[in-house]
Amino acid sequence: MKRIFFYSVAACFFFALSCKSPERDCANFKTGTFTFETLLDGELVATTFTRNDTLEVDFFNGKADSSSVRWINDCEYIVKKLNPKSMSEEKALHMKIIATDGDFYTFEYSLVGETNKQRGTAKKTTN
């Protein structure tokens, strides 16, 4: 019985050592210029955006679009279009940085109040 207990404790100890929680240095990603790539209708497209504490400007297909930014905490913020062109653009997005790695961060996003979340990765290109 003691042998089983010892092996169980040892296995739990080694399992705990092997689990590494993701880095979350969110403060480094609050401001700057970033790029984000995604598949859109089977084609890889990129968007660039610049963000400060209260404003985010997206550049996509040669057009700029501005949104307000309201930080909830160091890793979560709400983004809302300043000049929505449709009812769907009037809905705010909840953004959450879930991991950081060097110049990259992984985030989850959804419409405010919705449970269906999407994920993406952005790269910081300038401060």
Interatomic CA distance for residues 52 and 106, integer angstroms = 18
Average pLDDT over residues 36-59: 92
Interatomic CA distance for residues 120 and 108, integer angstroms = 7
Average pLDDT over residues 33-44: 90
Q: Which residue has the higher pLDDT, 108 or 22?
A: 108
Q: What integer pLDDT is reported at residue 20 of this predicted model?
A: 55
Q: Which residue has the higher pLDDT, 10 or 43?
A: 43
Average pLDDT over residues 48-71: 96
Q: Which of 104, 101, 79, 75 is nearest to 89 (CA)?
A: 79
Percent residues over pLDDT 90 in the chain: 70
pTM for this model (two decimals):
0.78
